[in-house]
């Protein structure tokens, strides 16, 4: 299990506002997140925003489904 998978229900990962220093400290201490984990979350967030903007521009619904159960909590956390 990855650090992010362990920490997905922390709900500190906003797609719209940057993490505060306090939130980063909490995620680092409680979730054992690394600099790479934070980078992965940023990339994921950027991609989600791009996909959702593309969907909105075309007035089409966006459906997200996790084929693997281990990632479902992470998707729900962002959903």
- pLDDT one-digit tens code per residue, 31-74: 788 888 888 888 888 888 898 899 999 999 887 766 666 566 66
User: Interior CA angle at 11 toward 38 and 9, to 5°?
Assistant: 100
Instruction: Give the pLDDT score at 2.
Output: 61
Domain that holds residue 44: 3-78
Tell me: pLDDT of 27 over 90: no
**Cβ 32 vs Cβ 2: under 8 Å:** no
61-67: Cβ within 8 A, 24+ apart: none
- Cα–Cα distance, 76 to 29 (Å, whole number): 23
State the Cα–Cα distance between residues 58 and 43, nearest whole angstrom: 23
Both tokens of 14, joined, read 């906003």
Tell me the pLDDT tens digit for each residue of 10-23: 555 666 677 788 88
Domain count, the chain: 1
pTM of the model: 0.60
């Amino acid at each position: 299990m990855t650090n992010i998978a362990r920490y997905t229900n922390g709900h500190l990962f906003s797609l719209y506002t940057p993490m505060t220093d306090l939130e980063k400290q909490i995620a680092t201490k409680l979730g054992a997140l690394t600099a790479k984990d934070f980078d992965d979350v940023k990339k994921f967030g950027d991609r989600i925003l791009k996909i959702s903007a593309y969907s909105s521009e075309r007035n089409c619904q966006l459906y997200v489904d996790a084929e693997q159960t281990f990632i479902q909590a992470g998707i729900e956390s962002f959903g």
